[in-house]
Amino acid sequence: MAKLYVVATPIGNLEDIGLRALRILKEVDFILCEDTRVTKKLLKHYEIKTRTVSYHQHSNSAKTDFILRLLKKDKKLALVSDSGTPCISDPGGKLVQAVVEGLGDKVEIESVPGPSALTAAVSISGFPVDKFLFLGFPPHKKGRQKFLSQILESKTPVVIFESRYRILKFLQELRKKFLEKGEGEGLKEKDTTSLVICRELSKMHETIYRGGVDDLIAQLDPKKEGSPKDQKGEFVVVIY
C-alpha cells in the first residue's frame, strides 16, 4: 500500500532527529523537500542516499499530479520541510490535503513527529500555555489589522511566526494597536515578560528576547550589532 510519511526534521541542530525518522528517510522511495539543497545537507550528514523531489509553495498542479501518480504506484514517500514539522505554516499542508481528497484510503498518511519551532518556543516562554492561539505568519496587507486585533483580544498566549525582514514592523504595528485600544500603558506596566521572541532556536546563535513591546523594539534596533538585518531564518514570537 502507498504511504506518505510526514517527517519532522531538525530546526537547527542536526542531532535533533529521531531514529525512526532516519530509518524512514533511508527506506522510502522519494523524499519530498521544500528545498532539496537544504534537505541534502541533512541527508549527507547521515549518509542517506534516497532520491529527492522538490515540493514548495511555488509548485504547480503538475508537480502535485506527479506525486499523486507515484502514490498510485504504491510508492512510499517522505514529506519534509526545510526545518521542523511539515504542514505548520508550510506548503506541505496543501499536498496532504490533495492526497486525502484525491486518493482517500488508498494511501496511508503517517506522522513521524519531532522538532517544531512552535512547541520549542512555547516550552521556554514561561507563560501558562495549557492553552494558546497559533496564528502563523501575519498577512502582509489584506487582513493585517484584523490579525493584530486577534492578538489583542486573545485571553491566552498567542504565537506567531515572522521573518527577519518584517519583525520590527510587526512589533511597531502591535505597539500602535495597543495604544489605539488604550492599552499601551497597561502593557508597559505589565510583567516585563509580556513578549518572548526566539531566533535561531537550537543553533549556535540562539537568542531569546524577553520584555515589553517597547523593550523588544529597542533590543532589535537595526543599528545594533546582531540586529535582524544581520540574522538568518525566522522568528517565533509569543505574546501574553
Q: How far is CA 168 from the centre of its chain?
A: 19
* Angle value at C-alpha 215, between 213 and 217, nearest 5 degrees: 70
Query: For 118-239, which CATH superfamily applies?
Result: Tetrapyrrole methylase, C-terminal domain (3.30.950.10)
Q: Helix and strand tally (H, E) in the chain?
A: 9, 10
On the question of pLDDT at 184 being above 60, the answer is: no
On the question of pLDDT at 127 being above 90, the answer is: yes
pLDDT digits (tens, 9 = 90+) for 135-159: 999 999 899 999 999 999 999 999 9
Per-residue confidence (pLDDT) for residue 228, from 0 to 100: 56
Sign of CA dihedral 101, 102, 107, 110: negative
Report the 10 Å Cβ neighbour count for 51: 9
Q: Domain coordinates of the chain in residue numbers?
A: 2-115, 118-239
The DSSP annotation for 79-141 comes to EE-SSBSTTSSSTHHHHHHHHHHHHGGGEEEEEE----HHHHHHHTS-S--SS-EEEESPPSS
On the question of pLDDT at 231 being above 90, the answer is: no
CATH number attached to the domain at 2-115: 3.40.1010.10
The answer to whether 194 and 187 are in contact (CB under 8 A) is yes
Sign of CA dihedral 63, 65, 71, 75: negative
Q: Which of 132, 107, 128, 130 is nearest to 118 (CA)?
A: 132
On the question of pLDDT at 189 being above 80, the answer is: no
Sign of CA dihedral 227, 228, 230, 233: positive
On the question of pLDDT at 25 being above 90, the answer is: yes
Sign of CA dihedral 76, 31, 17, 110: negative
The pTM for the full model equals 0.88
Per-residue confidence (pLDDT) for residue 121, from 0 to 100: 97
